[in-house]
Each structure stands twice: as structure tokens, then as C-alpha cells.
Amino acid sequence: MRRIPQILIGASASGGGKTTFTTGLLRLLRDRGLTVQPYKCGPDYIDTKYHEMASGRVSVNLDSWLASEEHLKQIYAKYASDADVCVTEGVMGLFDGFEGMRGSSASIAALLGIPVVLMVDARSTAYTVAAILYGFKHFYPAIRIAGAVFNQVASERHFSFLCQACEDVGVECFGYLPRLKELEVPSRHLGLTLDATYRFDEFAGKVAASIRQSVDVDRLLRSCSSSMASVVERQKAETIASASVTELPKVETILAASVSEQAKTESIVSASVAKQPKAGTIAASSVSEQPKVETILAASVSEQAKTESIASASVVKQPKAGTIAASSVVEQPKAGSMAVLPSVGEQSNLETIASASVEEVPNEEARCPKAGRMRIAVARDAAFNFIYRENLARLEEWGTVTFFSPMADEALPEADFVYLPGGYPEFFLESLANNESLKRGLRAYVEAGGRMLAECGGMMYLCDSIRGMDGKDYPMVGLLHQQATMEDMKLRLGYRTIRAGGQIWKGHEFHYSSVSPGQPPASIAVATDARGNTVDTPLYRYKNLIAGYAHLYWGESDLMKLWEV
């Protein structure tokens, strides 16, 4: 069984530098000629786009609210099968979940056996980080803290105090990122234009250069190397994703940890600053000339904030893992056009580790064509692109997927099923409003009984109009008789359980827009949040059109059953 580096980047809170460091590390490893597979804890759409642009490979969400533990194990192994390194970016603080630690980055690390590298924000602190590191090291024994990287370090002297703290509590120090303006994550809307994409490319290169200079990447990789076989055999006691709150580690247990596992208190209290490794000379390995971004998914980055929604609250035959559709913001990719970065170095396969009344429609219209033979049209351009990778993989299993642009294409592809995902319609209202032929095609398709799913931004597009941030009304498709508006913007977010008839679906809601009272179809579902509280998240149905604000996850479900409600 081969051993490969597996890394989960965690932190004590949001804003601690996880995204910056993950982006730079992905780019640096790619520049070394390694095939690096990125993942993201939680339902976030933004960070996965950063990962894809930095690494050239599709980034996969690992979310224990949306998916089962077994499914998470399987997709983690599937996308890692041809990788040299696996890098997972955590969400929020390491132990923050939708209920206590449930659904947290730590629960993913425990489930999959991934060593954790802590990003520690060192602004306005020095030796006090010893207490923070000590707590992280001993709080939850089911995970392994491989070491720490410090962010926002002011000077070499500052770094020396931080190194002393690591030494005294027995946590390995891999290096630091300096306090530099150019290392701050740029606009959350990167990817909306090619120019913005190239700006991101420049940012990723700068972070990679900083990591190369002041982080011992080789030592980090050695420390985080482990066998993928452990994912299957990991004891359930180490799995927190489905554990009850009473099963979480108790404070008394933590405080009573054996002396042999603790750093000596005396050394922490009285330690002087020991000899430190010289900053700036940690990593000596050279890298090859940075390649251009071979493959960038033409997708905008969502308005989604850093997945703070977590706090508010199976696997089928797939195309080759790690591929990204080559496209530009204006031109849309042809169906099936995929590009794979060549894997450099020795490759070998890993062991497989392994669900109200509506208007009646004719049964013929509701019947799903034979699996594998469906014609599926998916909207994907700068306005619509919030698609979970495993959702797309399921669609590819069911038939031939053709991508189209509501902004640029004149005609809707021939299809048995149309998917309008979320995205940024509010930034492209004029282009969407002016494309009358495509709007007519969508109306005709639905009126004829065609099956369609529209989520969030896709649902907004199907309304009579969208009122933009400029106060103007832009005419849209007109299948849902209500107006979506960007006025009085308020963030609405959180996990959602959607109960439609006897079916239960999991999803996530994140949007600033709202819909004004109109005459939409009645909702066919009742929605609750992660704590079971009822929320106002309708799921509309008109003929065979189903639409709502929730982004559903069907990576291990049969989406077509939704039309049986």
C-alpha cells in the first residue's frame, strides 16, 4: 500500500489564513510537477474555485451534513486515486460544526484519518500561542495535529517566540507566512472575468513563493504521509460525524490527561527563548518555472461567505477524477470536453475505500428515460455555475451532459432534463434579459412538460423579473410569477432538510436576494434547518419545473424521484 501525503488545513477561527495557505500550497505543489487533489470541508462554492484555479484539478466538497460517512470515504478515495498529494481545506474553526463538533473539519479529519496542519494567526500575540497549541493537541485524541504554520508574522524575532511555544508543547513548527498586504485573499468574486482570473493566478504565485521561502514543505509532507487503507478500517470511535454531543470529549477527561502526554508546565512557565531555526531559509528545494493555468473552469465565484452557514444551523461509475472542463467566461465548453493535467512521478491506484398536490401532468412526460441514455442540459457560464462536483458526476452517469449559456446561446439543447444551478445572475442582468430566444426556449420546454430543476440563482432567472442593485427591473423568463430583488439585501443561509411527500432531501441555502409576493406555484415541501426548526424555504412546482432557493445534494441519491412527489 503506497503512502501519500494527506493534509487537512485547520485553524482556530475563520479568517485565520486557511484559504491563503491552501491556495499557495496547491500552486507550489503543482509547480513541483506533483498531481495534487484539493478538497473543501463544508458546502462552500468559493474556496473550491480557488482550489481549481491554483491546482488545475477539480476540488471536491466533503460535507457530513449533506452526505453519509460511507459516501465521503468513497469520494475521497476516488478523487485521490491518481494523486501524489491530497490537500483538504477546513471550514471555520477546526472544531466548529452545525451542532457542537458534528460536521466540523475535525470530524472529517477523524473519519478519513487525515493529519491536521494548524494555521495559527499570530497577530498581536507571541508565546501565548503555546496554550492554544496545547489545547488543540489534546482536545480531541481521534485526530493527529501534525504541526503548525503561523500566519501574519511580523519579523524573525516574532517567529522565534512562536517556535519556542511549539517546542515547549511538543508541536512541530513548519514555518510561517509574513504579514504582507499582497498575501491577503483578493476579491471574493474572482473568476467573473478572465482579467480577474489572471489576477488570481498572480496572487497564487505570490503566496506559493512566500511558502517556498519560509515554510519547510518537505518536512510538512513527510509528517503528513499516511496510508489510504486506514480510511476503511478506521474505528468508529474515531468518527465524530455521527456522534451525539454526549460522545464528545469531556473537559474533565482533557484536564486529566496523563503527564506523559503533556508538555511540562514548568517548561512552559519558565522557558526562555531557545535557539530557533533561521527564518527565511527553511525550504531549500528549488521549483520549476511556474506553468500557466492549463485548465480553469469558466465559473464565477459565489457570493457565499466563508461557509459560516455551518454554525447556523452512493457512489456510481464516474468520469475520471480530477478533471476540469476547459472553458472561458464567454465561450462555453462543449459537452464532454475535459482536460487532465499530466501526473508527474510514480502513480499507482489506491485500494477502493470504500429522498402537496401539484398540477397533473401526463405520465409520459414524468417518466424518466432509461438511465445512461438521458439528454441533460446544464446551464454553465459566468452567471450560473454553482454545481457540486458529485451532482454533476451523477448527471454524467444518467446520460450525456451538454452545457449551455443563458447569457450567450440562442437555443436550448435538445434535452430530457434541464438543470439551472445557482450563480450570479444579478451581475449579468442585461445580458440575460436581452437573450430573448433562449428565454423563449426555456418557456416552451417547461410548457411542453419538460423536466427542469432550478436552484437559487437559477430560480431567480425563471421569475418574471429581477430588480438589480441599480434599482432597475430586468425581464426574465417568466415561468414563476414573482419578482426576485437585490434591494434590501439580507444574508439568508444554513443547512436545509427538505421534506417533499415521503421523500427527504438535504441541501444548503445561501443568498442575499429575496422574492417579492406574487403568484408563484404552491410549495411542495416543508424545510427545516440543521436543528429541526421550520424555515421559509419553498420548493415550487409548475408542471415538471421544480425550483427553490436550496442547493440540493444528490451525489448518492436518485434525483429523478423528486418528480414522483
What residues are annotated to the active site?
A: 456
Mapping DSSP to helix (H, G, I), strand (E, B) and coil, where does residue 27 land?
helix
Q: Which residues contact 104 (CB under 8 A, 6 or more apart)?
A: 41, 91, 92, 93, 94, 95, 96, 97, 240, 310
Q: In this structure, are strands 503-511 and 551-552 parallel, antiparallel, or unpaired?
A: antiparallel
H or E element in which residue 362 lies: none
DSSP string across 249-280: PPHHHHHT--GGGS--HHHHHHPPPPP-PPTT
- With b meaning 16 or more CB within 10 Å and e meaning fewer, what string describes 262-285? ebeeeebeebeeeebeebeebbee
Q: What is the chain's alpha carbon radius of gyration, rounded to the nearest angstrom?
A: 24
Residues 239/106, Cβ–Cβ less than 8 Å: no
In terms of Cα–Cα distance, which of 345, 270, 333, 265 is closest to 298?
333
Q: What are phi and psi of 181, to 5 degrees?
A: -60, -40
Residues 385/197, Cβ–Cβ less than 8 Å: no
Which grid coordinates are listed for 267? 517548561
In terms of Cα–Cα distance, which of 209, 221, 223 is closest to 178?
209
Place of cell 533561521: 278
Which grid coordinates are listed for 493? 443561509
In this structure, the number of other CB atoms found within 10 A of the CB of residue 516 comes to 13
DSSP string across 143-190: S-EEEEEEEEE--HHHHHHHHHHHHHHT--EEEEEE--GGGS---TTT
User: CA quadruple 438, 389, 242, 88: dihedral positive or negative?
Assistant: negative
Which grid coordinates are listed for 382? 459566468
H or E element in which residue 495 lies: strand 492-500
Which grid coordinates are listed for 46? 468559493
Which grid coordinates are listed for 346? 510514480
